[in-house]
Structure 1
């Protein structure tokens, strides 16, 4: 029973985390890193370019070497989540 409660708590925290939190590990706290040395630096991109890129990753029309990885990262993002990410790090 304790394991179920713990797992439920962890999943609830993940569900309510800020949309950008999952991006930080690769892109940096402020989008200042080229993820795995392959991506664009998010903080150098316009908000519109970030939105377009994330939606392109979702529908498979955008991306280079990290396309497969990124599709998995953005699949569950809503339009509001995508806009929040762009507002946080885009210029």
Structure 2
């Protein structure tokens, strides 16, 4: 019984650590976005885009992939393309999840 309790606690710690790491990665990626989107995502980037605050992770991730593949974005999309093409799909997902918490 003691063994099972120890294994259960260890599993819980590992799962919580993985979640915290994903959040930290999303936060560190977003640090590069603060200048245009604001600390809490409420700023309209370059006065041209809607704030990211209040959007779901799925919406944000879809839009970011759209910038990368050319299927989304307005006249100033080259700025976003240059930022996002440096990120892996996992980083895009993590930053989308982080921004969805605003």
Unaligned runs of 5+ in 1: 1-16
Q: How far apart in 2 are the matches of 1:31 and 1:88?
A: 10
Q: How far apart in 2 are the matches of 1:18 and 1:68?
A: 22
1:40 Cα offset (Å): 1.5
- Runs of 4+ aligned residues of structure 1 deviating over 2 Å after TM superposition are none
Aligned to 1:10: none
Root-mean-square deviation (Å) = 1.5
Q: Counterparts in 2 of 1:61-76, with a 5 A limit? A: 61-76=71-86
Q: Give the TM-score of the pair, scaled to structure 1.
A: 0.75
Unaligned runs of 5+ in 2: 1-26
The structure with the larger Rg is 2
Q: Give the TM-score of the pair, scaled to structure 2.
A: 0.67
